[in-house]
Every structure is written in structure tokens, then in C-alpha cells.
Amino acid sequence: LQLPTKATHQQTREFNVRLALRTLYDSGPISRAEISRRTRLTRTTVSDVIAGLVADGLVEEVGRGPSSGGKAPILLRVVPDARQVIGLDLGEEAFTGALVDLRGEVRHEVSLPVGGRDGDDALALVDVLVERLLALADRPLLGIGVGTPGVIDAVTGVIRWAVNLDWQDLPLGRVLEERFGLPVQVVNDSRAAAVAVHTFGLAGARVSNLVAIKVGRGIGAGIVLGGELVHGDGFGAGEIGHLVVADSGERCRCGRSGCLETVASAGAIVRSARRGNGTGREWRTAQRLGLDEVLRDFQRGERRARTAVLAAGRYLGAAIAAIIGVMDIHRVVLHGSVTAFGDPWLDAVRDATGARALGLLTSGVRIDVVNERANLAVLGASAMLMTNQLGLSLAR
């Protein structure tokens, strides 16, 4: 996500373009002389690079700054809506897509219910979503950023395994590139969300180390270390949902038993809150009740719901303690449907984390629910695509 702040003589013209653009993006409006000073590129190089960016419509002149004696300098800025990115979140209930501008502002959003589709049917739904967004685009498109559950090779765009969608070794990046003729970036949705939290400072402050954990139907973490997203050797960094945490626990959709998802996810809470709640027909009705109903019971103080939710929070806290024990990261942000249980759940998470990790490590830890101003996976996948195509960071 970050480029070096200083150019050296080996670097290519493309690097110079990216460096000038990023400097302008992060610090504009500023003058050509100021870009030269900040990047240590020569004035001639900067003038040449800027001429190209203005011709491409990415940069524009916006009046004159204060004079420091001589002629007042012309100020430049990146045109926020010079390009658009299609950002997608292939979520549990719905595939959501948006047109996102260069400042991370969502221009149009489209959401299509998944309705249990998987395999080729789910892939066809992605096509429909992209077609709908293409029709809405009113600026040149940079490409498509896709956030999707599963283990993704973020370099090749191959989905190695997405259990919900029944996708295995699906080259989604290549499929979409060939179909739509645009660059495509495919990234795990939890990791995309971590990028969004990092780039927009949604953790309350812009920090270079953070863990963002999605707690919904699935559980997954995105880890940002030193300002960089951690992928891992096999692109599985942060796949905490299938850590086995409960001995002789329930069967998981991954095939094993006792995974974190079987005790701390939305589905686990619903099952646990409803188990044994009545008999016969009454019990079957109860089984169909979803998270919203459990949330209402929880807020009314119904005992079984509270027990289920708080136990789920404690399991999550234990997993967070393990992450902190290994990584010594102080900022943990939580998002996803389970965060709707609010402070009592969050307190259970925090207490379990504190009880299970070394006090020295947890004393500076902050665990919060992130304030989602837009779909985090859409924003994060868009940010990664922009970074790859233009060298931009979406930081303000």
C-alpha cells in the first residue's frame, strides 16, 4: 500500500508518475515546485509528468497559491471523479457493488440478493452486477475490485476455496478481466475491510498496525502490519474462523468440529439461543428465527439469548488474545452483523481478551466496533485496485 517517499535514479518514468500523483493526491492542491521539493524529482521531470497527467484528465490546475516574492505559483490537484472503480462485495446474503471515485466516495450502489446461489449461478450473478454498474458509470473506469469470502490468491486473482459459494480454484480475476476488458483485483473480504479501515482511519486514528475482524455468518480477520496488508505464505493470513477452539464442538461447514465459527458466529449464536427452546412444532418455529429475533430477545434480557451471545463474545475474545499474543497489535476493530449485540457483547470480548493474554501486551489494546460509513469490503477492494493501477492511497 505504500511507496517509498523518495525517488532514486533507477526508478522508471512510471514510478515518477505514481510518485507525483500520490504526492498530489495526499497533499494537494500544491504547485509543481512543491511536488519537486517533496518528491526530490527535478523540476523538469515534474513538469513533464504533470503535463501527461493533465492530458489524461487525472490532474487539473486550480488557481494560484500565495506568492513568495515572485510570480504566484499555479496549484494542482487530482480530479476526484477523473476515474471510477467498480467495487464488489460478494457477501453472504447479497452481492453488493458500487461505483467508487478516486476519493473513495460511493457514487452508485447496487445490491442483488444471492438467494442461495453458488457455483456457476453465483458467477452469473457477478456478471449481472458488473453489467448493471457498467451501465451506471459516467467516468472512465480504472477496473474492478472484488472482495469475496474464502482463500484468495491476491496476486493471480484465483479463488482457491470459497466454501459458501462452492468455488474451488476459480480464476475469478482472469474470468472478469476477459469478460469486461478491465483490470481486476480479487481479495478476501475480511482483508479488504482491513484495508478500508486502515486507509480511511476508521479505527479512530490512522495507525500502521491493526486487526479488523468480521464477525457475521463467517469470521475472518484482516491484518495490517507496518501499513501493509499481510497476506501470508498461502494467502490465508487472518483465517481465524476455522481455528478449532471448542473441544468436541459442533460440526463446522468446513468439515471439522469446534471451529471458532461454530461458537462465535451469527449462526452459532442463533443455534445456541434456540437450542432446546420448546419442543415439537414450537421448537421448529424457533429454529427458523434468525439473528434479528435473537437480538430482540437479547435486548429484552431473555436469559438464553444473553447466555448465547456472551459465550460467543468470550470465544471471540480468546481468539483475539491469541492474535495479540503473537502480533502485539494494539488496535482491534470489529465489524459484521454480530456487532449489533453492542456493549454487553463487546465487554465479553474485551474481558476474555484481557483474561487470556499477557497483561503487558493487552494493557494498550483497544477493541472497538468500527463505524461503517459504507460497505467496507467494497471500499477496501476499490482502494486496492486504485493502489495497483495508479499508486494512490485513499488516505485523506
Interface positions with Zn ion (CB under 5 A) = 242, 252, 254, 259
Q: CB of 150: closest distance to Zn ion in angstroms?
A: 13
Min dist. Cβ of residue 118 to Zn ion (A):
17
DSSP calls for 206-233: --SSEEEEEESSSEEEEEEETTEE---T
- Tell the smallest beta-carbon distance from residue 134 to Zn ion (Å): 36
Q: Output the smallest distance, CB 261 to Zn ion, in A.
A: 6
Residue closer to Zn ion by CB (options 41, 259) is 259
How far, in Å, CA of 141 to CA of 119, rounded?
A: 27
Amino acid at 4: P
Q: Is-cis flag, bond preceding 171, omega within 30?
A: no
2: left (phi over 0), alpha (psi -120 to 50) or beta: beta
Instruction: Show the CA angle centred on residue 250, arms to residues 245 and 251, nearest 5°.
Output: 105
Shortest distance in whole angstroms from residue 256 CB to Zn ion: 5
Please choose, from the candidates 140, 135, 110, the residue with its C-alpha nearest in 3D space to the C-alpha of residue 125: 110
- Using the structure block, give the residue that is written with the C-alpha cell 455468518: 217
- The rounded radius of gyration (Å) of the Cα atoms in the chain is 23
Residue placing its CB nearer to Zn ion in the complex, 336 or 391: 336
**Torsion sign, CA atoms 265, 267, 270, 273:** negative
Q: Which is nearer to Zn ion, 137 or 243 (CB)?
A: 243
Our CB check for Zn ion shows the closer of 136 and 254 to be: 254
Quick one: 162 or 379, whose CB is closer to Zn ion? 162
CB of 268 to Zn ion, least distance (A): 11
Name residue 219's beta-bridge partners.
215
Nearer to Zn ion, 259 or 291 (CB): 259
Q: Which is nearer to Zn ion, 19 or 252 (CB)?
A: 252
> Is residue 94 classed exposed, middle or buried when 0-12, 13-18 and 19+ CB atoms within 10 A define those classes?
middle
Region of residue 35 (phi > 0: left; psi between -120 and 50: alpha; otherwise: beta): alpha
CB of 279 to Zn ion, least distance (A): 30
Cell, residue 42:
527535478
From residue 36, alpha-carbon distances to 19, 21, 40, 58, 145 in Å are: 10, 12, 5, 18, 32
Q: What is the DSSP letter of 46?
A: H
Nearer to Zn ion, 74 or 254 (CB): 254
CA 121 – CA 331 distance, rounded (Å): 39
Residue number with CB closer to Zn ion (23 or 164): 164
For residue 266, give the nearest of 326, 339, 197, 330 by alpha carbon. 339
Residue 340 DSSP label: G
Nearer to Zn ion, 183 or 241 (CB): 241
Give least dist CB 240 to Zn ion, A. 10
Structure letter (DSSP) for residue 12: -
Instruction: Kindly state the smallest distance separating residue 316's Cβ from Zn ion, in Å.
Output: 15
Closest distance to Zn ion from the beta carbon of 82 (Å): 44
